[in-house]
Chains A and B, each alone.
Chain A
Amino acid sequence: MIAPDGTRIPYRDLIERAAVKETRQVEVELKATADLRVVGTPVGRTDARDIVTGAKRFAMDLDVPGALPCMVCRPPTINGTVRSVRNEADVVEMPGVTHVAVIPTGVAVRARTFGQCIDAMIALDVDWGPGEVGGSDSDDDILAELKRAEIPMAVPKVPILAKTVDTSFTFMFASNSALETYCAIADVRNDSAEIWGGFKVPVAAQQAIAYELGLPLNKVTVNVVQGGGSFGRKLFHDGAMDAALASQAMSVPVRLMWHRADDSRQGRVHPMCTSRVRATLLGDQVLTYEQRHTSARTDFAHGFGDVVTAAAAKLPVADYSVSQTIYALTAGAHYNFGPTTSLLSELTDRRFNTGSMRNIYSPNVAIARELTVDKLAKKTGKDPYEFRRTHVRNDRARAVLDEVAEVGEWGRRMPRHHAQGLGIHNEYHGYSACLVEIDCSPKTVNRKVRQGVNGPRVTKVVFAVDVGLVVNPKGLEAQMIGGIMDGIALVLTSSVHLEDGHFLEASWDNYAYTRQWNVPFDVQVVIKDSEDESPGGVGEFGVAAACSATANAYWRATGTMPTEFPINHRGDLHFEPFPTVPPIPQSPTNGLDFVR
């Protein structure tokens, strides 16, 4: 704690006074917004210099004595099992290898270098058992299950002359893999354990690891290291659990890291889902709006700390699952469309390793909603901007919409195969709107990019946001830009393909997240002055408006409303899938051939 005169008081000197036997409410007086000197001013990252000089330390960069590299050889199908290892004695004799041990997720190998772990994983001969995903299950099988689970629309009574507008959209599985794969250092002893890793919910990690190791909670220390990206992944502690169990099985410290192929194929995915809308129109009046979202199960086992738990307790959804609560919190009504409902139906099985992915339901729900809004505008002969402006529920939402329309010159003449598109989204006490310009001309779509997905290119993005009190405008802008990059990927390029019980994508050139050749040339983020003095959330907030604006721009440029996302999912694969046995590809040896 730093006092106004600069005096520093260490936390340890405050603990005794802060520790109370009962939780009680204490009134504190916050500084008036007008008096804030740091909050609201643009500040660069405090670790910027460490990052650009290579001094920033991630989990795998820490030195823990004796913690040698360790990797896990995983099954060819999702969550498969090890029946037996046929050549353990041979593998343990390989150069650099120190230990081989079976853990619940596969066969762990510890060696002097990660390269030698990779060699050993490729050499392992394992008798694998199946996982719970059927050995022949592919995308269409799961989609058929979702279709069967879709809950019916229930339109309230409307005049007989009312017209019904129906839309239906499918969103394929997508990977939330960060650039840093799952990893952790673990030093497990007989009576204690210490773990180092990037955790968003370290309390959940500590509890689960202590339970699995059979140790009391207070004997497990979890050290939080900054992660190399999360996007939902590091809400979970899958890598740390592997590290703890491998260290326990081998009785030595390990520096455990997932191979990229495993992070992509066995790591968590955003569940496949469908979103359907039925609206009724009488003249140019929208009488009703209903949305039904159906999804493979989303894993929320990590919990959300106090915020959502507290919010959930206040909602009249006591008999709903956590999923229902999150959905109710994030999919709120955006337009005055008469009686409006939005409901979630989730499959309940745990076959797939799932989780949120820079948003949970919102991007998909928003794409379905905003495409439907454009369709309603079309049906009523209205301009999509004017139509939104008329029906949007809230002045702050209207203000961000007006902003992007003005800054982005909504309605300006575009060349053939080019178009603008709009999307809005409200969430986390904030309001956002996005205007996208897209180029779907054959020249652009057919650009040749080696082992990459080209296709339509978003050329310009204008994004306006009102999140109440802005703490750091630079951080807010960066988060919105990141969300825009995700939104472009979700609509145009990135998904994983389920085929015969496993995902085909095993690395980055397979999984087509936004790359430089997909990046807009002009990205503008406008932060609106807000009447609200409480801060909203920004970490995921950019995605929903950006992806829905991209989808609408694509529709307007091509004349065909997209109904399956990403739009390239059914096309020819842009890569030759790696085999599943061995589960990982060997590193090439020709790196010097590319030096130019």
Chain B
Amino acid sequence: MTTHIFKVNGETVSVDVEDDVRLLWVLRDLLGVRGPKYGCGINVCKACTSHINGKAFNPCSVPVGKIGADDEITTIEGLADGDDLHPMQQAWIDYDVAQCGYCQPGQIMAAIDLVRRVRDEGRSITDDDLDTLRNICRCGTYPRIREAIKVAARQM
């Protein structure tokens, strides 16, 4: 077992666990950070999508040993600034996107990253960009996800 130190949602955490345990389980089972959800464990459903140093990644497929002391992990719990929601979260509420809600933390984290990447390219979001989102929603909320992202992108 190794002691791993890194930042989660702005706080430094320390956890003793084997290097190869994937970060999703370190977050959920050992640190009690339960926003990122399990949906496949093989980086295809994207329900666990979170951010590392401001960029989207899937902790189900990253051993905790690969996370360094300088790395900052942001999960859905760390997105809002106190009571002030991120524009993407607010758009999700305004468009009543969610149904069961299980996939939505991952959807929101992936959507924010998509908007950032498109903006970095100096463009605005297109349908082709939205088609690249791989997050699964078995309730079928996809059309509202597309609407909410387009609106939030203008406010980010």
Interface residues of A (CB under 8 A from B): 44-45, 47-58, 60-61, 63, 69, 95-96, 112-116, 118, 177-181, 226-231, 257, 259-260, 451-452, 474, 478, 481-486, 507-509, 513-517, 519-521, 523, 584-585, 587-592, 594-596
Contact = CB atoms under 8 A, between A and B. Distances in A.
Contact of A587 (B61, B100, B101, B130): B61
Interface of B: 1, 17-18, 20-22, 24-26, 28-30, 32, 34-45, 47, 52, 55-63, 66, 75-77, 79-80, 85, 89, 92-93, 96, 98-105, 108, 113, 117, 127, 130-146
B40 A260 contact: yes
B75 A54 contact: yes
Contact of B102 (A58, A259, A507, A517): A58
Greatest chain A CB density within 10 A among B25, B58, B60, B75 is at: B25
B58 A591 contact: yes
Nearest to A589: B63
Given A231-B138, A514-B142, A51 B57 contact: no
Contact of B140 (A481, A585, A590): A481
B138 A516 contact: no
Given A49-B93, A53-B79, A588-B61, A260 B101 contact: no
Nearest to A62: B34
A44 to B, nearest CB: 5
A516 B131 contact: yes
A283 B138 CA distance: 46
Contact of A591 (B61, B117, B133): B61
A260 B34 contact: no
Contact of B130 (A63, A116, A516): A516
5 contacts: A53-B89, A54-B77, A116-B21, A516-B130, A521-B127
B41 A51 contact: no
Contacts of A227: 100
A96 B18 contact: yes
Given A259-B41, A523-B143, 14 more contacts: A49-B85, A51-B101, A52-B105, A115-B24, A180-B100, A181-B38, A228-B102, A229-B99, A229-B138, A486-B140, A508-B39, A508-B44, A591-B43, A591-B60
A31 to B, nearest CB: 26
Given A179-B45, A516-B134, A591-B59, A113 B144 contact: no
Contacts, number: 220
Contacts of A51: 92, 98, 101, 104-105
Contacts of A591: 43, 57-62
Contact of A592 (B24, B52, B141): B52
A588 B136 contact: no
Contact of A509 (B38, B44, B60, B77): B44
Nearest to A47: B101
B55 to A, nearest CB: 5
A482 B139 contact: yes
Contacts of B59: 591
B100 A590 contact: no
A596 B55 contact: yes
Nearest to B140: A485
Given A54-B35, A515-B134, A587-B42, A115 B21 contact: yes
Nearest to B130: A516
A67 to B, nearest CB: 11
Contact of B41 (A118, A451, A486, A596): A118
A513 B139 CA distance: 10
Closest 5 CB pairs of A and B: A54-B35, A485-B140, A228-B102, A591-B61, A51-B101
A519 B55 CA distance: 25
Nearest to A578: B42
B77 A53 contact: yes
Contacts of B39: 179-181, 260, 508
A48 B92 contact: yes
B104 A474 contact: no
Contacts of B42: 260, 507, 585, 587-588
A519 B146 contact: yes
A478 B144 contact: yes
A179 B138 contact: yes
Nearest to B135: A516
Given A179-B138, A517-B131, A54 B34 contact: yes
Nearest to A119: B20
Interface centre among B25, B40, B137, B145 (most CB of A within 10 A): B40
B22 A596 contact: no
A56 B101 contact: yes
A580 to B, nearest CB: 16
A451 B36 CA distance: 23
Contacts of A509: 44
Contacts of A57: 34
A494 to B, nearest CB: 11
Contacts of B100: 178-180, 226-230
